[in-house]
A and B are shown apart, each in its own frame.
Chain A
Amino acid sequence: MNMQSKNEGSKELQKQDLEVRLLLEAIQQIYGYDFRGYNQAHVRRRILHRVQNLGLKSISELQHKLLHEEHFIEILLRDLSINVTEMFRDPGFYRSMRLEVIPVLKTYPFIKVWHAGCSTGEEVYSFAILLKEEGLLDRAQIYATDFNPIVLETARKGIYPVSRIKEYTQNYQASGGLQSFSDFYIARYDSVIMDHNLRKNVVFAEHNLVTDNVFAEVHVIICRNVLIYFNKDLQNRVLKLFADSLIKGGFLGLGSKENIMFTEVADTFTVVDASEKIYKKKIVLGI
């Protein structure tokens, strides 16, 4: 590698940085989705992926499409919102919920649960199964939100590929499930349809954690593998939103690589399960 090409490489990167910034700016100004506080390595990777996939020469060409093609935002939204999910992801999380959180929830006559960033709904059905087994589903109001309307459509339908059922059944069993996982769905050709009773008390709605505000006071917030994509400032903003949305003594469940330690809400919560990232909002603040 000679000096010349090194310089060209980093100049190219610099131009890409600028193009990324301009693209995010356009998405924000025209469509209101704000990705400027998302981790940069992630955003860049996803954008370049799309550039390559469409055989474009630059991010600027993508910008052109965004500005002049009506539905192009949907593609970018899908690229930037990673929707990868599964049923009973991290079974230990659900085990801990069952042991540590459910007994407290049983003391309330009525509970509200918020799944923030619920993607295609697998997490919502998983937790609903847990609530049902514990006799809490009928007195629960569940809000399942995501900022991507397309994944919410799938979540509402509750139809999933049968090819993943083996994995989900294992997860369910490892999570301490009390029944047989097949009690909760009907198989049809290559899909399964989740028991519609599970979503009887679920409201699926669009909500953007970056730009929208508190919409209800709830007993439990589950927001897993969403904050991992946000920078520190944005994490703080969203965690404060969660703190404001929880009743005193309410529970917050995060993804296994997410944490409230060293954030601005660290003092607002006590730790219920450090390894499963389950926290409880203090009843008396400041203690």
Chain B
Amino acid sequence: MGFSMADKAKLKYRAVVIGTSAGGLKALKQLVEGLDPVFQLPLLIVQHLSPQSDSFLPKYLSQFTHLKVKEADPHEPILPGYAYTAPPNYHMHVEKNGTILLSVDEKVNFARPSIDVLFESAAWVYQQHLIGILMTGANNDGAKGMCQIKMLGGLTIAQLPSEAEVPIMPEAAIALGCTSKVLDIKGISSFLNGQYAKTD
């Protein structure tokens, strides 16, 4: 399924990138649970996991959303109606032609996949058509990526630190002045749903 021309004209954003670390499973679950069935923007998700962990994340999240959740394959086109998770031990990037690139580059911020890597490459490709969301976590990964998204005209949302299981990660982005909005998870879901609200 693709966006119709009419959809494209109406929709300001083309993709959503999401980064989470400690406490992320629960946060991701709540976020996707809150999405209306009409919501179709592709989600690209980096959740920090141990390198040995197998690919349970997509299976887990599938239970709570109408989106098709899958572990990203290299070179696959990024499509509406899908949520892609970065495989453990690989960085996930977005290529200019709208496909996914996986790499085994050095860890960034002690993490592979790294949120910064995803956010930065997605910002290059989608520019002002990108939403970046940073939620619970115990490190600084993603903060720089949020700045990159904002600098290129995209919209950035940090999870309300007081609600986050571990507030360090959203706080880091807020401290850098790189967040357009600070919302609780309910607020994030409804903001995303709002992208599909009828404007006419």
Within 8 A of A (CB), among B73-101: 73-75, 87, 90, 93-96, 101
- Check if A41 sits within 8 Å of B94, measured CB to CB: yes
Known pairs A42-B101, A228-B103, A257-B73; A5 contacts B153 (CB<8 A): yes
* B153 contact from A1, A84, A229, A257, Cβ within 8 A: A1
In this complex, the member of B104, B106, B152 whose beta carbon has the largest number of chain A beta carbons within 10 angstroms is B104
Q: Does B117 contact A (CB under 8 A)?
A: yes
Report A103-130 CB contacts with B as 1/0, cut-off 8 Å.
Answer: 0000000000000000000000000000
A residues within 8 A CB of B96?
A: 40-41
A residues within 8 A CB of B127?
A: 6, 9-10, 13
A residues within 8 A CB of B124?
A: 13, 41, 44
B residues within 8 A CB of A225?
A: 104
* A84 contact from B101, B106, B117, B125, Cβ within 8 A: B106
- Check if B128 sits within 8 Å of A257, measured CB to CB: no
Known pairs A5-B153, A10-B127, A13-B127; A39 contacts B101 (CB<8 A): yes
Q: Does B38 contact A (CB under 8 A)?
A: no
- Check if B93 sits within 8 Å of A228, measured CB to CB: no
Within 8 A of B (CB), among A231-287: 232, 255, 257-259
A residues within 8 A CB of B117?
A: 45
- Check if A13 sits within 8 Å of B152, measured CB to CB: yes
* B101 contact from A9, A10, A41, A46, Cβ within 8 A: A41
- Check if B90 sits within 8 Å of A257, measured CB to CB: yes
How many chain B residues sit at the interface, stated as a range, is 20 to 34
- Check if B153 sits within 8 Å of A6, measured CB to CB: yes
Bound form: Cα–Cα A225–B104 in Å: 7
- Check if A229 sits within 8 Å of B151, measured CB to CB: no
- Check if B93 sits within 8 Å of A82, measured CB to CB: no
Within 8 A of A (CB), among B110-160: 117, 120-121, 124-125, 127-128, 150-153
Q: Does B102 contact A (CB under 8 A)?
A: yes
Bound form: Cα–Cα A244–B127 in Å: 43
Please name the residue on chain B nearest to A39 by beta carbon.
B101
In this complex, the member of A5, A9, A41 whose beta carbon has the largest number of chain B beta carbons within 10 angstroms is A41
Known pairs A84-B104, A257-B87; A10 contacts B95 (CB<8 A): no
Known pairs A6-B127, A229-B103; A42 contacts B93 (CB<8 A): yes
Within 8 A of B (CB), among A1-23: 1, 5-6, 9-10, 13
Q: Does B200 contact A (CB under 8 A)?
A: no
- Check if A228 sits within 8 Å of B151, measured CB to CB: no
CB of A262 to closest CB in B, whole Å:
9
B residues within 8 A CB of A257?
A: 73-74, 87, 90, 102
Bound form: Cα–Cα A10–B74 in Å: 26
A residues within 8 A CB of B95?
A: 39-41
Bound form: Cα–Cα A255–B104 in Å: 10
B residues within 8 A CB of A5?
A: 153
B residues within 8 A CB of A40?
A: 95-96
B residues within 8 A CB of A258?
A: 74
- Check if A228 sits within 8 Å of B152, measured CB to CB: no
Bound form: Cα–Cα A6–B121 in Å: 17
* A9 contact from B74, B87, B104, B152, Cβ within 8 A: B152
* B121 contact from A10, A41, A229, Cβ within 8 A: A41
Q: Does B105 contact A (CB under 8 A)?
A: yes
Bound form: Cα–Cα A9–B152 in Å: 5
- Check if B104 sits within 8 Å of A228, measured CB to CB: yes
Report A208-232 CB contacts with B as 1/0, cut-off 8 Å.
Answer: 0000000000000000010011001
B residues within 8 A CB of A228?
A: 74, 102-104
List, sorted by A's number, 18 A–B pairs whose CB atoms are closer than 8 Å.
A1-B153, A6-B152, A10-B128, A10-B153, A13-B124, A13-B127, A39-B103, A41-B93, A45-B105, A45-B120, A45-B121, A225-B104, A228-B102, A228-B103, A232-B75, A257-B73, A257-B74, A257-B90
Q: Could you list which residues of chain A lie within 8 angstroms of chain B, going by C-beta atoms?
A: 1, 5-6, 9-10, 13, 39-42, 44-46, 82, 84, 225, 228-229, 232, 255, 257-259
Given contacts A9-B127, A10-B153, A41-B125, 9 further A-B contacts (CB under 8 A): A1-B128, A9-B152, A41-B93, A41-B121, A42-B101, A42-B103, A42-B105, A228-B102, A257-B102
